[in-house]
Structure 1
Amino acid sequence: MGNDGQRIGGLSSYELEFTEGGSLVRDTGLRGAVTTGEFDDVFVFSHGWNNGTDSARRLYGTMFDLLGAGLARHAPDKTARTAVVGIFWPSLLFPEDDPTTGRPASAPRSSGAELATALKPAFPGNEDNLARIGELLDGKGGSDQLVEFHERAKRLVTTPNLDAGEDSGERAAVELPTGAVITYYSGWPHADGRAAEGLLDPVEGLWDGAREVLRTLSYYEMKNRAGQVGRVGLGPFLSTVAAPDGHRPRVHLLGHSFGARLVAYALSGLADGLVGAASPIKSLLLIQGAFSHFSFNDRLSFDPDRGGALAGYSNRVDGPLLSTFTRHDRAVGWWYPLASMLKRQDASSQADLLYRWGAMGADGYQVDGTSRVPLGDDGFPYGFASGRFYRLDANSVIDAVQSPFTGAHSDICHPEVAWAAIAAAGLANGR
C-alpha cells in the first residue's frame, strides 16, 4: 500500500499524510485518480492512537481486505470503481498501552527514561524536555520536582482543542495547580485493577500519579491534533477533490478512536455550501470513537444554552451517521471519563460525571432521536436513512479484551464492521 495504483482486497488504495497542524505532506495519487474520474465511491479511514505507520498500515490492510470481500459478495459490480484511502497523522500510543505487545499486566513498568524515549517521535522539538521528564519520573523527588515535572508535562499540549467545552476535561490537568492535579491522578487504581501504590508508599503514589498525568496530557494532545488535522487538513482536501467537469466521488468517512474525531471534525472543514446533496460525504462511521458523545448535540444537557463543537454539521453528511459502542472498551468506558473528571463542573454525582465526560465508543451519539440497532452480521438489512444518527450496539462483536488498559478498544477488524460501512454507503441492500 502507498504506491499509486496498488490494490488491497481488490480495491484501489491510496494514502494521505498530514502534519500535526493539518498540512498535507503526501498523496500517493488519490487527487489525480479522482481528477480523471476513475472512482464513484471512496472509503477514507483514519487510525487513532498507534505506534507508527507500520501499525496503521496493518490496520488498513485488514480493514480494506474486509471491505473488499464484503463488496465482492454484495456489490461486485462496484469494486472496480471503489477506492480506499488510509490517513496518516502524527499520533501516539502510550508505550505501556499497546495491546499488540503481549505484555502481561504483571510485567515491570517502563522506566521514566524509556517512556521519554518512546514519546519523542510524537513531540518533535521536545526532546530535551522529555529527557528531563524521564529523569524526574525515575528520580522520584519531592514537591519541587513534582512541580517541575508538571510544568514540563504541560508543554506537550500545544494544539487547540477546538471543542465547545464538552470534550476538554483533560484541560484541567493543565490549568489546575500541581498539588490538585497530582493528588487526583495518584488516587487511580492501576489498569489491571490493583490498588494505587500510594496506599503503601505516599511518595511512590504521587509519582504514580505523575505517570498518569503524562499519559493524560500526551493523549490530550493527540486528541486535539485529531480535530486539527480533520478541520484544517482532511476537510479542505475533500472539498477540492473533483474531476474537471465537477464530478465528485461519493466519500465515506470511517475513523477509529481519535481517528473518529479526525473524520468527524473534517465535516467542519468542508467548504461552505457543501451541505445536503451537494456534500461529497455520503456516510460517516465512528468506530469506538474517543471523543465526546455530545459533540453533535444542538443543546448540551448540562448547559442547554450551548451545543457541541459539531452541532449543525450533520447536514454535511448526505447519508447516515453511525457510531459503534461496547461495554468491553475499557479505554473509552473507564479511562476516558476518569481522565476528565478532575474538571468537576456541570455534574454532581459519579454517575453524572461518567455521563458528562462520556465518549462515543462507550454509548454512541447522545443526540435526540438517535436509533439504537445491533451491529449486525454480514448482510444484515439495516435500512439506514439519510440524515439519521445510529448507535450500533457492538457488545457481541467488539468484545475481545486485548490489554488491561484498552480492553476491546482495538478489536475492530470484523466483517460486521465492514458490512456496516458498506450498508451505510448504500452500496448494497443494507441501506
Structure 2
Amino acid sequence: MGNDGQSVGDRRGGLAYYELEFADDGAVARDTGLRAAVTAGQVDDVFVFCHGWNNGADSARRLYTTMVDLLADGLARHTPDKGARTAVTGVFWPSLLFPEDDPTTGRPASAPRPTGGELAAGLEPAFPGNKDNLARIGVLLDDKGGSDRLAEFHERAKKLLTTPNLDAGEDSGERAAAELPTETVITYYSGWSRVDGQAAPGLADPVEGLWEGAREVLRTLSYYEMKNRAGQVGRGGLGPFLSTLATPDGCRPREHLLGHSFGARLVAYALSGLADGLVDGASPVKSLFLIQGAFSHFSFNDVLPFDPGRGGALSCYRNRVDGPLLSTFSAHDRAAGWWYPLASMLKRQDASSQADLLYRWGAMGADGYQVDTASRVRLAEEGFPYGFTTGGFYRLDANSVISTLQSPFSGAHSDICHPEVAWAAMAAADLAGEHQRPAR
C-alpha cells in the first residue's frame, strides 16, 4: 500500500485503491494517498467503503479488495471511460468481532468454546486501558461463582461502555444491559438459546445458566460499545474528512458512501459530521448504500412510530445525500434479524407484544429503511435498470443474493460480496450507464 502523501494508490482492475484509518475518537491515523490524489485533481468519483465488526485489518482488506474487483469489472463493462478517474477507499476503524462469533477461525463444531479468559484476551485490542478489568472478567466467567461474583462481573462489564450513543433513543436498547439491576439482566440473558444453537442450560444447571447469561451480557455490551464507536468515528472523523476533500480551486469529487453492518452506521453518521452548507446539490455525497446495516431501521424517520414527537437521529440529514439512499435486507441475516433486536428487548418499552418489540428494535439489515416514502425493490442482476432518483429511499430485497449461512451467530450477515451488490452501488453512483431522474 502507499504511504501518507502518495498521490496514486494501488490500481486494481483500473481503479485506484486507497486506505483511510481512524482512531476510536475519530482522529485520522493513516491516509495512503486519497487526499493527495484529490488535491492533485486525479479523482472524479470515490467509493468510500467501511467494514463492520471484524477481527483485524486483513479481513477488512479482503472485503475491500474483493469489492474493488467487482466494481472494476462492472465499470469496465458498462462505463469504461470512468475507471481511470474513479477511486475506492477502504476505511479502517477500531471495531472487534466478539471472539467466538468469528466464522473465519476454522474451529470445528465439536471443538470446545473459548474460555472466559480467552474471550477476555480476545477483546483487549478493542478496549485499550481495560486489560486488568478484562482479565478479571475472564476469571469470573471461568470460576462461575455465586451472586456476589455475578454482581462483580456486571459492574466490570459495564466499564467497557465509554463512548456515548448519538441516537435519539431509537437505537439504544442494549444499554438496558448496563442500566438495569444485575439479577434482571442476567436472568433475561440466561434464557437465550446458545449462539451455537444448543438449548439454554439453565434448567439442567441453574448456575451454568446464569453464567451463560453473563457471557451474553459481555457479548451485548462489547457490541454496543462498537456500535457507539461507529457513530462517533462517522460524525467526528469521516464526515469532517470528507468535507475537506477538494482541489485547491474548490472542486470536489463525487463521494459514494458504502458501509456494512456497524460500518453502515459509521457512514450514515458521517452525514451528520459534514460541514455546514454541504446540503442538496452542494453536498459531495452523491449516494449512500447501507449493506446489512446493524443499526436502527428508524434512524432516518421524520417521525418515530413509538414517539410521534421525535424523529430518528439522522432524520435532519437526509438532504446531505445528493442522490439515492439504499439499504439491503435479508431474512438470512441472523445477526440483524434475530440477535440485534433480541439484545435490545430487555427494557420491553414502547411495545406490547413480541412482534412489536422485534419491529421496535429492528435493524436495517432485517427490513431496510422504514421511512414512509421508501420503495421496495429486489437486489437485481447486473444490467438491471434501477432508475434511482435523487433523495429517494430504497429497500433492496436481498433474500435471493445475501443468503449463504456463514456462522450460527451471524447467518448470512457478511455474505455481501456479489456482483449484484456492486451493480447497485454503481447504479446509485450514476456510474452504470444510466442517468438518475432528479427528484426531491
TM surpasses 0.5: yes
Correspondent of 2:312 among 297, 308, 312? 308
Other-structure match for 1:389:
393
Other-structure match for 2:40:
36
Other-structure match for 1:226:
230
Q: Tell me how far 1:203 sits from its aligned partner.
A: 0.1
Question: Cα deviation per residue 1:392-423 (whole Å; 9 max; x = unaligned)?
Answer: 00000000000000000000000000000000
Correspondent of 1:11 among 10, 15, 25? 15
Other-structure match for 1:363:
367
| 8 A Cα contact 1:105 1:404, kept in partner | no
Other-structure match for 2:384:
380
In structure 1, stretches of 5+ residues that fail to align are none
Other-structure match for 1:169:
173
Question: Cα deviation per residue 1:277-317 (whole Å; 9 max; x = unaligned)?
Answer: 00000000000000000000010000000110001211000
- State yes or no: 1:351 paired with 2:355: yes
TM-score, scaled relative to structure 1: 0.99
Other-structure match for 2:132:
128
- State yes or no: 1:70 paired with 2:74: yes
Moved more, 96-105 or 399-408: 96-105
Q: Tell me how far 1:2 sits from its aligned partner.
A: 4.8
Other-structure match for 2:243:
239
| 8 A Cα contact 1:296 1:367, kept in partner | yes
| 8 A Cα contact 2:262 2:293, kept in partner | yes
- Pairwise mapping of residues 125-204 of structure 1 onto structure 2 (< 5 A)? 125-204=129-208
> Take 2:265 and 2:2, find their aligned partners in 1: how far apart are those partners?
23
Correspondent of 1:113 among 109, 114, 117? 117
Correspondent of 2:330 among 318, 326, 330? 326
What is the identity, as a one-letter code, of the residue corresponding to 1:120? E
> Take 2:67 and 2:146, find their aligned partners in 1: how far apart are those partners?
48
Correspondent of 1:270 among 265, 269, 274? 274
- Pairwise mapping of residues 289-308 of structure 1 onto structure 2 (< 5 A)? 289-308=293-312
In structure 2, stretches of 5+ residues that fail to align are none
- State yes or no: 1:98 paired with 2:106: no
Tell me: CA distance 1:347–1:310, structure 2 relative to 1, closer, same or farther (3 Å).
same
Identity %: 81
Cα RMSD (Å): 0.9
| 8 A Cα contact 2:423 2:432, kept in partner | no
- State yes or no: 1:54 paired with 2:58: yes
| 8 A Cα contact 1:40 1:250, kept in partner | yes
TM-score, scaled relative to structure 2: 0.97
Other-structure match for 2:292:
288
> Take 2:378 and 2:359, find their aligned partners in 1: how far apart are those partners?
21
> Take 2:147 and 2:395, find their aligned partners in 1: how far apart are those partners?
46
What is the identity, as a one-letter code, of the residue corresponding to 1:381? P
> Take 1:314 and 1:191, find their aligned partners in 2: how far apart are those partners?
36
Correspondent of 1:338 among 319, 335, 342? 342
Q: Tell me how far 1:85 sits from its aligned partner.
A: 0.2
Q: Tell me how far 1:199 sits from its aligned partner.
A: 1.7
Other-structure match for 1:20:
24
Structure 1 runs (4+) deviating above 4 angstroms are none
Number of equivalences:
431
